[in-house]
A and B are shown apart, each in its own frame.
Chain A
Amino acid sequence: MYHYLEHQKGSNTNEDPILYENFMQRIENGDKIEANDWMPSEYRDTLIKLISMHGISEIMGALPEKEWVPKAPSLERKLAIMAKVQDEMGHGQLLLRVTEDLMKPYGRNRQHLMEDLLSGRLKFHNVFHMPTKTWADAGMVGWLVDGAAIISQTNMLDASYGPYQRALQRICKEEVFHAQHGESIIMALAEGTDAQQKILQDSLNRWWPSLLMFFGPASAETTGSSKQEITIKYNIRKSTNEELRQAFLDKYMPRVFSLGLTVPDETMHYDDVQEKWIYQQPDWNEFKQIIQNKGPRSKERLKVREIAYSNNSWVREALAVAGGDRP
């Protein structure tokens, strides 16, 4: 679901120049690269980093909403949010499989990714370090977080790496349902009692900085890191972080205002001359802290994941002994 682009040192493109040139020709021709095709290590490493973070973020992203699954306020909402969170786990599965193929030459597998997550080497998306304090937050994640995800993924629907591009086609279709699911929760609250409207506005106020951060910093200067240039060079994505953020604001600010909601930023407005939204920058130092697993709920979420992983290790070992497929 989720990617801003984070730091990566340019890998040494110490590759066979002819192979590299042919590869770049394919990229420029709009060919799709497949798992067993030759690819420069910079491309492979960028994809591994991007897709493993995406996949692990799906799996970590299940947790904040999942907190509200057993508590959802009607049977229909319980069913809908359960299906939604299940989809996110399914996306995680799809993406981890794509990553596994890419990692194969390095002798690494899914277990290594899980261990990297738990040790803090593999990061997950900033939004999933945040608390979901009320039922409105469960709606907000579906509506605006998944709404932001759709924008960032649509940007990669024509990505040069075939397996990822095909996974994204499916994921994006499901995300559209998720955004509708979130919007439905939001609409009910917006049209509801004073107390319901209040938890909704409070929720948006709380999530606002995270939503701006969602797309990542505009440039490397902001946080001292960005790999958007590399992913654009290889035709993995098209637009920059800031272009995506503007597209998000274009789509959602009118909806936010039409529901009678406000955002906690008095400077927020559309500038007709510059043809873009003017907004107050979120605290990018805080962003850096959050993605270093120092966000408000980072430790707790990783703890839940760690418990689930270690507490079930006997099951994975048992399946290995039984030698059967996973039931």
Chain B
Amino acid sequence: MDKRNEALLDLLYQCADDDLLVSFRGSEWLGLAPHVEADVAFSSITQNTMGHAVYFYRLLQELGEGDVDVLAHERPALKRRNAIYLEKRNGDGQYDEDPYFDWALAVVRGYFYETYKRVKLISLTASSYEPLAICAKRILPEQRYHLAYWKEWMKQLQQSSPIAREKIRTRIEEAWSQSLDLFDFGQYEQTLLNEGYITDPLELKQQWLAELQSTVKDLPSRPLEQLKNGRNGEHTTDLDVALATLSEVYQTDPVAQW
């Protein structure tokens, strides 16, 4: 396959898998948020985000990669391209048994990810691959509200009780150690840049940091780090568990109509 095409496919998998994992984690939160209003709002964001994943998988389907449900449910962890911070479980326990989920993680991840997604989507509106540029333009208007929502939570919790401030601070430190691969576009990165599919991730990181600095008090001064690089198919066991859950029914009969 032509390297340009491979690079494009890889980028689309990154976008699709990021949104799939974020929306999967959101779907586990359903019914468990701190109050009913937050539940309803978070679920709207989650549904939109899963819709975005579907959009990206459709672009892959149109390029001959296979059915969207096959792409979402059948690919093993090794083939997944999401950044690893996004696959991180919501806290302790299982969503249906003992969900000791951490709202501070939901808020920090929501805010960090949506800020990231926004700068990335803006870059993609100028992508040389037109279907991707159109997709980014369609997603941006609603994504704006997702960012606004988590930003409001960040602001409020940071101005709040000592417990809340400490929980947020701890989760920011953790995110700092685990999110560098968000700004890695994988093995075809140079081709992606040469072909004008997307902007240099270093530039996107600067934009991301600038937005974070405007909202987050005491952002860590050290560079971002990563545990593994999800863009290269390196993942944690949290992803294995997530994939087993999200494909549990599907895998009982992958060819059946559900």
**B-binding residues in A (CB < 8 A):** 59, 62-63, 66-75, 77-79, 82-83, 85-86, 89-90, 92-93, 96, 135, 188, 191-193, 195-196, 300, 303-304, 307-308, 311-312, 314-319, 321-322, 324, 326-327
Question: Is A300's CB under 8 angstroms from B40's CB?
Answer: no
Q: Name the contact of A327 in the complex, choosing from B32, B96, B99, B149 (C-beta under 8 A).
A: B149
Enumerate B65-123 residues with CB–CB distance to A below 8 Å: 68-69, 72-73, 93, 95-101, 103
Question: Is B159's CB under 8 angstroms from A75's CB?
Answer: no
User: A182 to chain B: closest CB distance in Å?
Assistant: 14
Q: Which chain B residues lie closer than 8 Å to A324 at the CB level?
A: 156
Who on chain B is nearest to A88 by CB?
B31
Interface membership of B50, Cβ < 8 A: yes
CA distance A4 to B164 in the complex (A): 42
Interface membership of B134, Cβ < 8 A: no
CA distance A69 to B257 in the complex (A): 18
User: B108 to chain A: closest CB distance in Å?
Assistant: 13
Question: Is A90's CB under 8 angstroms from B40's CB?
Answer: yes
Who on chain B is nearest to A60 by CB?
B31
Q: Which chain A residues lie closer than 8 Å to B223 at the CB level?
A: none
CA distance A67 to B94 in the complex (A): 10
CA distance A82 to B53 in the complex (A): 15
> Does more than half of chain B's interface fall in helix, strand or loop, or is it mixed?
helix
Q: Which chain B residues lie closer than 8 Å to A196 at the CB level?
A: 253, 256
Beyond the given A74-B250, A318-B163, please list 20 additional residue pairs across the A-B interface where CB-CB is below 8 A. Answer: A70-B28, A70-B95, A72-B249, A79-B47, A79-B54, A82-B30, A86-B43, A89-B36, A90-B36, A195-B252, A195-B256, A304-B32, A304-B98, A311-B99, A311-B100, A311-B101, A317-B161, A321-B164, A322-B159, A326-B38
CA distance A218 to B100 in the complex (A): 41
Residue in A63, A86, A93 whose Cβ sees the most chain B Cβ within 10 Å: A86
Interface membership of B171, Cβ < 8 A: no
Interface membership of B34, Cβ < 8 A: yes
Interface membership of B160, Cβ < 8 A: yes
The verdict on A327 contacting B250 (CB below 8 Å), with A66-B31, A82-B50, A308-B32 known, is no
Question: Is A77's CB under 8 angstroms from B30's CB?
Answer: no
Residue in B68, B69, B245 whose Cβ sees the most chain A Cβ within 10 Å: B69
CA distance A69 to B249 in the complex (A): 11
CA distance A192 to B35 in the complex (A): 39
CA distance A192 to B28 in the complex (A): 28
CA distance A67 to B32 in the complex (A): 12
CA distance A314 to B100 in the complex (A): 13
CA distance A148 to B113 in the complex (A): 41
Who on chain A is nearest to B158 by CB?
A322
Question: Is A192's CB under 8 angstroms from B72's CB?
Answer: no
Question: Is B161's CB under 8 angstroms from A321's CB?
Answer: yes
